[in-house]
Amino acid sequence: MTATDTAHAADPERGTLAKAADENFPVAPFFLPRAWRTDLMAVYGFARLVDDIGDGDLAPGGADARLLGLPAERADDRPLMLDAFEEDLRRVFDGTPRHPLLRRLVPTVRRRALTPEPFLGLIAANRQDQLVARYETYDDLLAYCELSANPVGRLVLAVTGTSTPERIRRSDEICTALQIVEHLQDVAEDLARDRIYLPAEDMKRFHVQETDLAAPTANASVRALIAYEAARARDLLNEGAPLVGSVHGRLRLLLAGFVAGGRAALRAIAAADHDVLPGPPKSGKVHLLREAGVVLRGEG
């Protein structure tokens, strides 16, 4: 067990929230009003923990299982953990949750009049991950993103009091794009979990076999497939980008950061010649800031 794992096991709430620094996009940057930062971090804590349960990335020791009222040895039983987590989520709306990350969510839900639906969508996505390891078509993948990604953007709009049907539509496009970008970055990691988020119909079109994805580096066919999916994600980001111009002030900066994070990640993938198999290509802060400036100016 590493020092990080030990600290996370001792304080799972803090360990989960600390993962915000590793995301492709700013979660709750310093320039936002304190109340927004508090609520966005509460939402992030929920989203990060449910993903960690679904991916089996909980800290060793079973602390999260115990917090949810389960024996520590059941922490690896992902369906059971997701069931217990959903039960605890329902206490956010009509009782007192067990897990500290869900207790943190209670004042946010009340202050912002949030509904259970987006939270339940994120749990449903992680349940689907336990049952579905391959996606036949791009439309199938989009339906998964509707559960796994789009609720996050809708929660951001709800927390900031800026939801409208048009903004939700644009937000969904951005969030789906960010989810696809993450899948492209994590092809090797996902395959190690026996998951492939590249549509099977596209793999056939580009003559890519699953064994090709297990190679140390990508061959020409895999690179062409990744470039194709990256272009789709870029188009979605571009479709959603007008969301940034529809709001004002510090929220505009936050949303520009989301779009810029996706674009910077795509540029990093392109700079690696679309070879994502050795590990996720990373973009630096300079590139992120440059992309944010482009988004704010409405130039791309």
> For 78-109, how does the pLDDT look when each residue is reduced to its tens digit (9 = 90+)?
999 999 999 999 999 999 999 999 999 999 99
H-type helices in the chain, by residue range? 3-10, 12-17, 34-55, 63-67, 78-94, 100-112, 117-131, 138-148, 150-159, 165-185, 187-192, 200-205, 210-213, 220-240, 242-245, 249-271, 285-297
pLDDT at res. 3? 44
CB 245 within 8 A of CB 167: no
Residue 167, pLDDT score: 98
Q: Per-residue pLDDT averaged across 187-212, rounded?
A: 97
- Whether 10 has a pLDDT exceeding 60, the answer reads no
Of the chain, the percentage scoring pLDDT greater than 90 comes to: 82
